[in-house]
Structure 1
């Protein structure tokens, strides 16, 4: 039996790791590290740094693999399914090469596997051909790190908030029934498609990391500043991971 631990590692800050995560890493025989291409080499580097800081078990080995790239054209759901199939094949090959069909393997997951992450779905694909037992170690999410960076509470008293994606905002506008949105996976800054009247934004990139940048204010004023800062940060680092909160009626 392969025991696979999906370990939430927060947003790239080794101090975000829980004691449970550190124990799970040191219990692993093999830690898989995905490489996402030269423009995102920092992401693999951060995983290596985390391992170097917390691994004390000399028997734990690291194995790197190149992460497949998702197709840019065609049906969205079909593209995602094909991409997940390709990633599952990479996981299976790395596990078989490193452990055979028995042992403990760990994958370091940005944030937490429960929130806009597909590692559990990919693991289910691997389990079709490998004897796999999956466990999850929860981690700090970028949503929590953003709220902490701005020292804000996500919800108003007795009120709900919605976690959604830039694609949903762009295609369907502001969802009915909520006044607070947490927007993730937004490479096109969908807040530009909304009426900014009465809306406040709290934005952050690389939250929790040494490179963290944050900006907030009325959307009409802060939106253009965020766009400019986002472009400059992407140019400087070669990649960007950002998230924001929108509230209306404050």
Structure 2
């Protein structure tokens, strides 16, 4: 058989060999084939695009609050998952946008919308959102979703036979959980969301924020989110399901919180 005919089978075989080799920090099997440095570069490019196209808040007090919470969440993440590789520094930008969103990107970038500050009524509630978003990065969810979207192209990325410019920017932004047009956060899969909720709860507690406030945050989100579709029509868990899952993990998170110094932001 000619090598040109064998190559697709070879890449598929390689994909099969690699499948199931990785795990998220919670122990869930994961297929995430894009190299970490490439994910960080793509995350940086996506963040720069947003920063160059979206207005940035100049509210000094709001920026100070968000930066304080971000710094403590990053420290909490490093303490919670010391086995992971972390960026040398994390960059935070507060975008002037009325939607109650936030996101984190590979390579250590965190974006927060000013609209989130209207829903997250306390620093701990803001920490619940930021812990959740940082957890997406820690669990490599963007890589996993990019691998799912690209299929065999992800394998070609691994072996260096396909450049990152050879797939659409919109695909990339969606895989990273960021809207390509307005910077609106897009939902990860329900599995990713649930995993990020529980990891984020651990992170915020370790950072010194009351984990009970995660429940209060999603109650606020439910009140602000008129018209959320039924759970079976959405990749996001329904607010009620999310709250129940968080409540079920509060005992352990509260024990962590009692063992650390409460955060002051």
TM-score when normalising by structure 1: 0.29
Q: Which has the higher strand share?
A: 1
TM-score when normalising by structure 2: 0.28
